[in-house]
Chains A and B, each alone.
Chain A
Amino acid sequence: DQQVKQNSPSLSVQEGRISILNCDYTNSMFDYFLWYKKYPAEGPTFLISISSIKDKNEDGRFTVFLNKSAKHLSLHIVPSQPGDSAVYFCAAIDDKLIFGTGTRLQVFP
């Protein structure tokens, strides 16, 4: 039972444009969400997080939006850069980190 879902396995975006990665969850009790970036053969690195009491959190080029009624969050990257090419995982905190299945982002010149 996948409680955190990323329905798009891949996304391709041109450099300079906006990348939007989506994540849906099923458990309304989740109160904290995170986004991680992962390169092949490496562990995930923390990008940005958001508490359920907020609907937006911004950090540089990265903005996370949370829509609690829809149980949906998204990560916006603007402008996208080739170095952003990686797999992005959203995660929710219950008593542990629960990861989504990941979305592979490719930013091309």
Chain B
Amino acid sequence: GAVVSQHPSWVICKSGTSVKIECRSLDFQATTMFWYRQFPKQSLMLMATSNEGSKATYEQGVEKDKFLINHASLTLSTLTVTSAHPEDSSFYICSALTSTEPVTTEQYFGPGTRLTVT
């Protein structure tokens, strides 16, 4: 099956610094990637939809200037948490679509990145 990787898997940073998380589709091209966030014991919440070569579409309540998304190629999307604060500590998961259909079951998830801001 399709494989999606994320790097790093775990990162600790100091408050006020920025952190970049990479999401790669290893064996397929992904025109669309999604970024999710999960707090402990809560649902995965969609943060933004990332389309290759265009600006990301952010969900309501997600600060686009704080969570910068770049989908520069068909296999790579990055999420940069700028000026991180402890409340940004969370588990960030990306997923990628293998087809051009709007949303299908062919959405493969990365292993996630745990961000801890001290």
Question: Which A residues form the contact surface with B (CB < 8 A)?
Answer: 2, 4, 9, 32, 34, 36, 41-46, 49, 89, 93, 95-102
Residues of chain B contacted by A96 (CB below 8 angstroms): 34, 46, 49, 103
Number of chain B residues whose Cβ lies closer than 8 Å to a Cβ of chain A: 24
Residues of chain B contacted by A34 (CB below 8 angstroms): 105
CA distance A41 to B38 in the complex (A): 11
The 18 sampled A-B contact pairs (Cβ below 8 Å) are A32-B105, A34-B105, A36-B109, A41-B91, A41-B112, A42-B112, A43-B4, A43-B93, A43-B95, A43-B111, A46-B105, A46-B108, A95-B102, A95-B103, A96-B34, A98-B46, A102-B42, A102-B43
- B46 and A43 contact, CB distance less than 8 A: no
- B105 and A9 contact, CB distance less than 8 A: no
